Structure 1
């Protein structure tokens, strides 16, 4: 007799599988084996692998939000943005498969996933309130920061930085340039 499973079991084991395997390794068969059940039993909980990945994307977004939110610990907006940027890179490097789900809206199948994504953007927007940017410039800054962090994270995950200079120093250098631009924009 198979054991009874629920969404909590699926998310817990699915996230462990996601963290141990590349995204391609997250299959219904692999998850069923982890849960000690037969693959067809999973269809009682979701339709297909894409729906499973949607469930895992929502959990990944929540984990990502928590990592960024927990990084903020000061009243200084620039320092908080820097701390969140560090947390962003750490999350992307420590949980590369979760990071793929976080960065690809095609996996966000629930309104909760979209809401968490909006909360992530709001974390940065909250820090920008002290800079009196126009709404348009605020969006430009959020996009610039996200593009920088995603690019740096993606290159780091692929081990594409081969030049003999500290990757950490390069990350800080680029972030400093972006934040200097933000400070200069406030002073205009």
Structure 2
């Protein structure tokens, strides 16, 4: 077995992400990760404090990857196209990493949640697109609207909750079109 010095934190997190996707959160144990990277479980604790820390590291790596994928598609200069590409990248990421996706949108214990800096960086593409569509003063609520719609759709899709039939790809496109229209409709009236 390799010594702990030969097992990097990046290798540990990568192994943990693979275990999460193949065995779910209950299967993501320190012992399983140690076996996967080829060390004894006590050696793993030299790199990772405990399971909650491991889950947080996995969540942060997942958020960073998703943010990078979103950032790669949201820069054409055409905000309508960028929203469409952003939504499709979001959906594709969730399908490619369903357990990781669920982890980052799950309200788990504070010790397992990604830090604010990681979330802020990953949110930048949605904030840019929302600002371009709805205006800078509406960037945050617009980005929240985009994320809430996309997360709701994808979460239902992954759960098999669309039971009335129909083409989900067409439905997704319909949602993007309506979301774009809502964000570009102008300044909404004040509530309250």
Stretches of structure 2 that go unaligned for 5 or more consecutive residues are none
Q: Structure 1 residues 37 and 173 mapped into 2: Cα distance closer, same or farther (>3 Å)?
A: same
- 1:41 corresponds to: 43
Matched, 1:22 2:24: yes
Taking the aligned partners of 1:131 and 1:151, their CA distance within structure 2 comes to 21
Matched, 1:120 2:117: no
Taking the aligned partners of 1:138 and 1:70, their CA distance within structure 2 comes to 19
SS at 2:57's partner residue?
helix
Equivalences for residues 84-103 of structure 1 within 5 A:
84-103=86-105
Q: CA deviation at 1:154?
A: 0.7
- 1:180 corresponds to: 181
Higher helix share: 1
Taking the aligned partners of 1:133 and 1:84, their CA distance within structure 2 comes to 18
RMSD: 2.2
Stretches of structure 1 that go unaligned for 5 or more consecutive residues are none
Q: Structure 1 residues 129 and 138 mapped into 2: Cα distance closer, same or farther (>3 Å)?
A: closer
Matched-pair contact (CA < 8 Å) for 2:17–2:58 = yes
* Structure 1 consecutive aligned stretches of length 4 or more whose deviation exceeds 6 Å: none
- TM-score norm. by structure 1 comes to 0.87
- 1:62 corresponds to: 64
- TM-score norm. by structure 2 comes to 0.85
SS at 1:184's partner residue?
coil
Q: CA deviation at 1:167?
A: 0.8
